[in-house]
Amino acid sequence: MKKKTLFISISIIVIILAGISVSTYSLLFSKPFRTAGPTFIYIDEDDNADSVFAKIEANLHPESMTGIKLLAKIQGYDSNIFTGAYRMSSQTTTLEAFRTLKAGRQTPVRLVVPSVRTMDKLASRIAGQIMTDSTSIITLLNDSSFIDSIGYSKATIPALFIPNTYEVYWNMSAESFIKKMIKENKAFWNAERTQKAKSLDMTKEEVCTLASIVDEETANNAEKPLVAGLYINRLKRGMLLQADPTVKFSHQDFGLRRIMFKHLEIDSPYNTYKYAGLPPGPIRIPSVTGINSVLNYSRHNYIYMCAKEDFSGTHNFASTLNEHNRNARKYQQALNRRNIK
């Protein structure tokens, strides 16, 4: 009888332990997330365990949080939370998810650096993609000592940024972002591009300055080498560039649709109707197409251009003032017909 009772007791213990093992296995190796595709969880500096759990619930829609919360309690997750972006999917197990968060194994994110007109807009766009805030970025870009230490000035700093898509870690700081841009700038300005700039007798910042004007003059990529060649012709002849976009930049009024004589009177080093040569720096972050259009400009004899009267966004080019004046009259008449002031 005693042996039978002992056997029954042992059997019950084995069954209980087996039940616990199965339950534990189910908790750790289940795939609790219900997402249509890969989803990121973004953990900030001010997050705690509870706020991380809330983000998981809101974004991954788990069937149960029991396993993750149990592991977090056992491992003391709340005392050592890593910031970053973490990608999960419906195939991620509870244990994989927790280990990823606990170890801070971030997933790189795609950072798009845009071609924009101002540093404020750049800072805003970048801050919308990584953890750092726009104030931290713009503070660095307005710090004369800092930008001088990396070889730029407030006028030339737009030339640092090469519009493209980059892989970065989401929790990068403003300083890390700038370091990344310095590295990518060096990679972009390879031996071939550097040599082409030298053949134009321009620094890379001057190439970017001219490219920024070209970008503002036309959105038609096929036309950009023509526009670049026109301005290079003017520079070689010692002529004023007389680029309308530099007048808009001087006024900081990018919505100007019609440049009047009164606009040309502004006394600004960026006003190429008053000052010869290139402006002190880019009037926007130039596009890669714009930069390449300057480095590979079209050889021709044009020194004048005027927007086409059909408002197609392209231009009529001319080699003589008489021809240009005819083109200008057609455009002015088209503006008048549309009552564009």
pLDDT digits (tens, 9 = 90+) for 132-149: 999 999 999 999 999 999
**276's tokens:** 């010869």
Phi, psi of 279 (to 5 degrees): -65, 170
Look at the block and give the residue holding tokens 């005693």. Answer: 2
CA atoms within 13 A on the CB side of 210: 30
The residues near 188 (Cβ < 8 Å, ≥ 6 apart) are 162, 288
Question: What local confidence, expressed as pLDDT, does residue 308 receive?
Answer: 86
More confident call, 79 vs 2? 79
Residues 6+ apart with CB under 8 A from 80: 102
Residues whose CB is less than 8 angstroms from the CB of residue 39 and which lie 6 or more positions away in sequence, other chains included: 33, 59, 60, 87, 88, 89
What ranges do the domains of the chain cover? 28-103, 109-188, 191-300
pLDDT of the residue at 341: 63
pLDDT value at residue 151? 96
Mean pLDDT of 55-73: 92
Q: Which is it for the CA torsion 226, 196, 163, 234, positive or negative?
A: negative
User: Which tens digit of pLDDT belongs to each residue from 174-205?
Assistant: 999 999 999 999 999 999 999 999 999 999 99
User: What is the CATH code of the structural domain delimited by 28-103?
Assistant: 3.30.1490
Q: How far apart are CA 242 and CA 225, in angstroms?
A: 18
**Choice among 85-89, 209-213, 329-333 with the minimum mean pLDDT:** 329-333
Question: What is the Cα–Cα distance from 109 to 86, expressed in whole angstroms?
Answer: 9
Confidence of residue 338 (pLDDT cuts 50, 70, 90): confident
The pLDDT of residue 195? 98
- pTM value is 0.85
pLDDT beyond 50 at 275? yes
